[in-house]
Structure 1
Amino acid sequence: MKIPMIYQMENSECGLACCAMILNYFKYEISLNELREIYPSSRSGYSLLSISKVLGDFNISSHAFKASVRDLKPLSFPLICFWESSHFIILEKISKNKFYILDPAKGRQRMSISEFERHYSNIILTFKKLDSFMSRKDNKKSPVLKYFFKYRNKLGILFFVTALLYVIQSLVPIANRYIIDTNFKDDSYSSRMLFTILFIFTVSFSLMYLLRQIYVASLKYIMDKEISYDFMKHLIYLPYSFYEKRTLGDILFRANSIVYIREILSNNFIAAILDLLMIVVYAVVLFSFSKYMVIFLISLSLALSIVMYPIIKISKNLIDKNIKEKVNVQNITSEVISKNSDIKLTGEEEFWINKWDNFNTKQLIIGRKLDIHLSIVSSITNVLQIILPVLTLIVGVNIKTFEQLTLGQIVAISTVSPYFISPIISLSDNYIQLMLLKGYFLRIEDVFNTKSELIPERVSQDIKFDKKIKLKDIWYKYGLFDDYVLKGINVTIKKGETVAIVGESGSGKSTLAKILLGLLEPNIGSIEVDGVEKEEIGQTLYRKIFGAVLQNSTLSYGTLRENLTFGHFVSDEELMTNLNSIGLSNVVKSLPLGLETIIAEEGNNFSGGQQQMILLARCLLSKPSVVVLDEATSSLDNLSQQITTSYLSEIGTTKILIAHRLDTIKSADKILVMHNGEIVEIGTHRELLELGGIYKQLYSNN
């Protein structure tokens, strides 16, 4: 049995993708998305041990050991191989000194011994089903295909109109036969009748074709609008962890794939169904003329299919690789644009252009191979369409004596035979497009199948933070098989308090802030607001309690006003009062367009300090109950720092500060000192210095 190819969708889930392929190979049907929900990946990926544990949970035993390339041939396949010392692939079989592998990152590949040896890291995982193993049938429907069923009535109308156009088209050869065989005179009644009918058919065909094109354009608009909106809405409401494990380029590629899906669904999918129908219709028309000609054309079609099959099969693999390489090019392009200042400062323009060129060249090479294979298909079909009428005339003349065919019937057969072959040719083209659709589907479905945070809120819309927020025994790790990065965190934050979190890099400060803000969900433990569990409040309302400026917070392209208000109405007076309180009003007044000044993407036309002040102003404009600042004032000069700190003290808002500059948090009511994911010290600045522990050491070094 052939192993189904499953591509990894996250940067570090090659091991999990291999598990999904093995499970499906053993008839336990499960999607990578479903497997990911059970075994979330870490930022460092999966080990052989974690892969073994995953398979073991499904009653598949596994054994890992070292093996050279020569040791592989006698073993039972498939195997999971350690690859390039940082990746996992499946070795499906070895045949005639060729290694057939399934790479979750690149797809199916066939390699020579030397090529395989160059990448293979001499470690494998073998496995077998236990007696307790049970197969499973996955009946889940594609979330994208629901749009096809939703618009089935509109697509049905399109199908009917297109079918009617084909029927009108099929009447042409019948008319040809009648004209030739009756040898009518110009003044005869039949002549006038025939021309009248042909005129009606011509006008009907033209009008129906025009209406069909208008209808297709309208249908595309409706489908594109709804699919795009649903995709973006679902994407925006996906959990923060989704974005952590995927590149910007990959996500952009998925969003752009919607256009291709809509085009293929509205054009090729319907065309493929109609092609099957028209093969039957034209076969019936041909059979009414000559059964021998039908046998000849069916034989020709079968021969064409046999010739085309290996070419289309190769094209399928190239399509998969081409999509993957396009994603890689999109990734590196996004990286070059976003890191432009770093590239210029390091003087590494040539390095990056060469890196981009390598990825782009790989994609172009695969694209060229794909174009060549598609050109072969196109050449065969074009030649066939040119010679087929002549060929059918020759065959028709030869079988004329057997079936007593008239000249009109022979001409009609010659006319209709290309119509019979054309849908078969079209089917091959549409099949390739539908294979392309599958590649886009996988990436779109990865978004739709990931659970969003958009769930009904369970409590009043007017929830307030009046007393305290309590973190109870919080434990967190990024992946199921990773070590905990937060361990047993217990903290109570009272209303109006200023709480600082300090510690060495990697101690868990930012992760704790993300847990508190609801960006990450703890594996163990709970969060309460005034005694109400966070789950009872709901994510959206819970997050409205907070305002935050994190290390990776950035400005968006748009006006300064838009960046400050995010579409909410705020008067100029209130805006300027807010900006003045943190010392930014003079900067705004000095700008020729003031609040209407356009901010470049990520705020690149403002200094680092100005960006932080704008972000802080935006945070405070929403009047949050709790402000979380993660190194949010690190780029400010001393005067701006003093103004900002003074204002934050005046407003009495609960503040949670994460800082490396410890002189900025001396006045905090409570300082939490973190070490290896645990809170090891709690107290005021003076108390912690007197304690003489980690905080004193950090403060002295600072």
Structure 2
Amino acid sequence: MSRFEKSLTAGERIRLEDGERLVLIESGKLEVYAVTRAEGSFRQQFLCELEAGGVAFPLLDEFNQTETLLYAAEDTQIKILSFDEVSPDELKNFMRRWFAELIKLPWLRLMADKGDDTLIPWLEGTVLEDAQDLTQAFRENEEIFSMLLGVRFTAEDKRFANRVEVRTRNQRRIMDNSIANLLGEETTTYSETTERAVKLEEATFIVRRAAMALNMPTDNIKLEAELVRKLDQIRLLRRLIQKGNMQMRLIELVEDWHKNDSGVIIGYYGAEKILSTFVPIAPGKYKLVNTEHPDGFPITDEVAAKIYKSAFECYAGFPARELKILDLMKFIFKQCWFADYRTVIGISLIAGLIPLAMPLVTETIFADIIPILDRQGLATVTQVIMVTSFTTASLGIVRTIAVMRITTRMNMATEAALWGRLLTLPTKFFRQFTSGELASRMQGINVIKGLVSADFIGGLFGFVFSFWSIFLMCYYSLKLTAAAVAVWFVYAIITAFIYRRVIGFQRNLIAATNKEAGIVQQVFKGLAKFREHGAENQAYWLWSGVFGETWKWNLKLRWQSNYNMIIGSVQPFILTMCLYYIAVYGMNEVGPNGQTVQGITYAQFIAFQGAFSSFNATLNGIIPLVGQYFAIQPHIENLRPILKEVPESVGDKADSGILSGAIELSNVTFGYVEGRDVLHDVSFKIAAGENVAIVGRSGCGKSTLVRLLLGFETPRKGSIYFDGQDLADLNLPSVRTQMGVVLQNGQLMQGDIFTNIIGTNALTQEDAWQAAEAAGIAMDIAMMPMGMQTVISEGSTNISGGQRQRILIARALVTKPAILIFDEATSALDNRTQAIVTKSLDSLNATRIIVAHRLSTIRNCDRILVMDAGRIVEQGGFDELVARGGIFANLVKRQTA
């Protein structure tokens, strides 16, 4: 039967295997996936979502490795047709619509936007335009898509294999340490990709060489041997990088990476995978440095072939102290090639001298060549002018390339350092600004970086070296030079007055822009609530108020710009008229015989005008740049809070080491506002592995206590200890990395579920599934069409509140931390799911601190701390506290009544 209809119920799946059939959707909705046929390596890729009238085709793969899978998102009616049953025009239209759906895939659209000749017709809707054999042309296009899809599947397999390898290394390290503990050994080696012991000295040497290449201090790059013995190589590198106030990220080295400016890289070299630093020594040149070759050797194509593709790129960080703009400029200056600075300065010096030749040549033409009709001399001068022009253009190109290199390195280094600093600021800093306002303030760095551009640097050095033209102008006529300078002085005063007003307007505009960004972000975040209450007009009113303020100052700035343009256009005219008037009427002198003598010859005046034109053009070009410099002052003020705040982790604090989970609070008092304490003299101890609950009425200080344990806040009095170490003396990230935390308002990232669970940890899908199972979310994920690759939308709007909470719990569990802190982490879970999560937590060998209002969830806790008005008023087991008849018993009665 070549033609039939089929009804699909919601959740039903069918595969398209016949290469010359298509599926036409009559009603409902289908999700289309590409899946692999290979056994043991199942992969799927979401292609598109089709509604009534949509059409799907099978994937025609040359090697028969992929096929089309249709998933009914709701009850759907479809019609399956063979190609022969459709007219050629209609079939061509169906095929074009199919390719139009495929090209919507982001990775495929990116290839088309970059100019791929095969994919552009898909984008433009002209695919199969001139096909002689429609079926064959369709097959060729689909085989291209299948090939590209196969490359993506292969890359996913490779990433999965890398994660499995990392997991295997971690398991081997655990076994090594376990055996060492059984044997009573004090030290143990840790296995890594190199299959050999990596010493602390080697890792320290490598990180220090990376720091030196980034012009960073190396004094703090060191760790205690007792801590190192329990760290694998990647964690060791991360700790040392953190000590050096740097950041690093995993990258994949592509072909010819060493011929580009790829930054400072740490990676592996040779068959033994020797840890090495790849240091850039010049644009497009690298050298390899390791403990065996401390002086390094050049990285050639042969050497690059022995370097493993997986590596870590290092980024310098700002000094961990309050920063001034001078510190920022020093940092920027150090991150660029000094050879480029020398190139720019040298070329600018030469470019400033070359224009001096033109006035002299002009004088020669009008004074010596034209009067005697010297054609040979004119030809020679013409050659000089051509050479001069060509030289000027060539120097401009070289200077632009050098400036582009400076700009590129500066952008990369500054952006990474600024974001790295923002992420290390204490949480109290973020209470001062909305996220929209903070994003607006971060844009200030782009204005500062804008100063380093070809126009600005060219104009600046052109201005400095253009004073050679003044000397030449003085040589021809001091009186005319004085007149030009006088007019310029008046012009500069007027311009300065305008720019002084601009600074005030710019400051107000930035303040209004910050406020607008905050309001816009809040409106978008609460858009669903505005619609729910029919309050769209109120949202519009909120936005219009701040936008009106922004527009008012923007309009005033534009008027100032108009004034500046008018004055700038009038100035050359006035200046030229003054020079001509003085040349005609003010330069004549009385000779010895009483006759009037011309003070400057025609040729000299033309030469003077040439020198003056060059100088005037340079000054006219520098005025907008000076204005740009003054305009950044408000942006610097806008950015200053971020630079002024000191990061919470500084290099002189000690690492926590491997925590057992023992916690102690000693006489802790804390308040957000001076004189109004939220916590009063709180003291308690939690043993390693103990399961402790914290309960109490709303506002009694439970969440504040959690923030103190995480180091988000600092006690006004008293201390917090982890394994006997004062938290105030510890490097906070070294503590937090050993915690699994779920806070009340925890949010998921926009992206797939797998990434949301494992984060940036080197873990596998097996680890993610284990964590999901423990959190009671594994079945939900398995029922989703794309499983772990299901994409979570911004704001987690495509999943329920309970699913969001369980994914957050899975994220907290996946690294098997020593300490778990749950602050109302199960409030949205039903009783069955709550029981699964509780059972999973009870089986963990970790310290658990659970803040909860639903008291039935904490019945099995080892101990319950009852808070009231910022104090611990009761503690004990569940039944014990109920029997006392105190505050906890009253809370239980209220929930069971």
TM-score (norm 1): 0.75
Residue 229 (structure 1) shift: 0.8
Distance 2:337 2:766 in 1: 53
Question: Residue in 2 aligned with 1:293?
Answer: 480
- 8 Å CA contact 1:264–1:434 kept in 2: the answer is yes
* From 573, 586, 591, the counterpart of 2:779: 586
| 2:362 is the counterpart of 1:167 | no
Question: Residue in 2 aligned with 1:563?
Answer: 756
Q: Which shifted more, 662-671 or 224-233? A: 662-671
- 8 Å CA contact 1:279–1:420 kept in 2: the answer is yes
**Partner amino acid, structure 2, of 1:569:** A
Residue 608 (structure 1) shift: 0.8
Please identify the structure whose Cα radius of gyration is greater: 2
Question: Residue in 1 aligned with 2:875?
Answer: 682
Question: Residue in 1 aligned with 2:331?
Answer: 147
Distance 2:459 2:818 in 1: 58
**Matched residues, number:** 563
| 2:364 is the counterpart of 1:178 | yes
Distance 2:880 2:323 in 1: 61
Question: Residue in 1 aligned with 2:567?
Answer: 380
* From 610, 615, 623, the counterpart of 1:415: 610
Distance 2:551 2:729 in 1: 52
Secondary structure at the aligned position of 1:347 is classed as: coil
| 2:545 is the counterpart of 1:358 | yes
Distance 2:514 2:324 in 1: 27
- 8 Å CA contact 1:631–1:660 kept in 2: the answer is yes
* From 465, 469, 489, the counterpart of 2:660: 465
Question: Matches of residues 331-370 of structure 1 in structure 2 within 5 Å?
Answer: 331-370=518-557
Question: Residue in 1 aligned with 2:731?
Answer: 538
Question: Matches of residues 183-582 of structure 1 in structure 2 within 5 Å?
Answer: 183-184=369-370, 188-266=375-453, 270=457, 273-274=460-461, 277-278=464-465, 280-386=467-573, 388-402=575-589, 404-456=599-651, 463-465=658-660, 468-479=662-673, 481-582=674-775
Residue 209 (structure 1) shift: 1.1
Question: Residue in 1 aligned with 2:132?
Answer: none
Residue 516 (structure 1) shift: 1.0
Flag the 1:140–1:147 CA change in 2: closer, same or farther, 3 A.
closer
**Partner amino acid, structure 1, of 2:343:** I
- 8 Å CA contact 1:392–1:413 kept in 2: the answer is no
Flag the 1:308–1:574 CA change in 2: closer, same or farther, 3 A.
closer
- 8 Å CA contact 1:322–1:363 kept in 2: the answer is yes
Report which structure shows greater RCO (CA 8 Å, sep ≥6): 1
Secondary structure at the aligned position of 1:176 is classed as: helix
TM-score (norm 2): 0.60
Residue 422 (structure 1) shift: 4.0
Aligned residues: CA RMSD:
2.5
* From 601, 613, 626, the counterpart of 2:819: 626
Secondary structure at the aligned position of 1:553 is classed as: coil
Distance 2:402 2:323 in 1: 33
Secondary structure at the aligned position of 2:473 is classed as: helix
- 8 Å CA contact 1:477–1:523 kept in 2: the answer is yes
Distance 1:697 1:186 in 2: 115
- Give per-residue Cα distances to partners, 1:123-147, cap 9 Å, x unaligned: xxxxxxxxxxxxxxx9976321213
Residue 376 (structure 1) shift: 0.4
- Give per-residue Cα distances to partners, 1:459-507, cap 9 Å, x unaligned: 67751316x211111111224x342211111011112222111122221
Flag the 1:506–1:572 CA change in 2: closer, same or farther, 3 A.
same
Residue 610 (structure 1) shift: 0.5
- 8 Å CA contact 1:343–1:349 kept in 2: the answer is yes
Distance 1:233 1:586 in 2: 37
| Residue segments in structure 1 that go unaligned for 5+ positions in a row | 1-137
Residue 309 (structure 1) shift: 3.3
Distance 2:601 2:510 in 1: 53
Question: Residue in 1 aligned with 2:801?
Answer: 608
**Partner amino acid, structure 2, of 1:614:** I
Flag the 1:317–1:694 CA change in 2: closer, same or farther, 3 A.
same
Distance 1:579 1:139 in 2: 43
Flag the 1:541–1:309 CA change in 2: closer, same or farther, 3 A.
closer
Distance 1:297 1:478 in 2: 63
**Partner amino acid, structure 2, of 1:182:** D
Residue 227 (structure 1) shift: 0.7
Flag the 1:296–1:266 CA change in 2: closer, same or farther, 3 A.
same
Flag the 1:418–1:678 CA change in 2: closer, same or farther, 3 A.
farther
Question: Residue in 1 aligned with 2:835?
Answer: 642
Residue 439 (structure 1) shift: 1.9
Distance 2:352 2:532 in 1: 63
Distance 2:824 2:323 in 1: 48
- 8 Å CA contact 2:473–2:611 kept in 1: the answer is yes
Flag the 1:678–1:418 CA change in 2: closer, same or farther, 3 A.
farther
Q: Which shifted more, 168-177 or 599-608? A: 168-177
Secondary structure at the aligned position of 2:733 is classed as: helix
Distance 2:691 2:384 in 1: 88
Distance 1:592 1:219 in 2: 48
Question: Residue in 2 aligned with 1:11?
Answer: none
Secondary structure at the aligned position of 2:451 is classed as: helix
Question: Residue in 2 aligned with 1:662?
Answer: 855
**Partner amino acid, structure 2, of 1:437:** I
Distance 1:203 1:244 in 2: 58
Secondary structure at the aligned position of 1:679 is classed as: strand
- 8 Å CA contact 1:165–1:205 kept in 2: the answer is yes
Distance 2:652 2:484 in 1: 64
Bigger proportion of residues as helix: 1
**Partner amino acid, structure 2, of 1:439:** P
Distance 1:199 1:422 in 2: 21
- 8 Å CA contact 2:665–2:685 kept in 1: the answer is yes
Distance 1:226 1:176 in 2: 47
Residue 187 (structure 1) shift: 5.8
Flag the 1:633–1:439 CA change in 2: closer, same or farther, 3 A.
same
Secondary structure at the aligned position of 1:144 is classed as: helix
Flag the 1:297–1:513 CA change in 2: closer, same or farther, 3 A.
same
Residue 221 (structure 1) shift: 0.6
Identity of aligned residues (%): 25
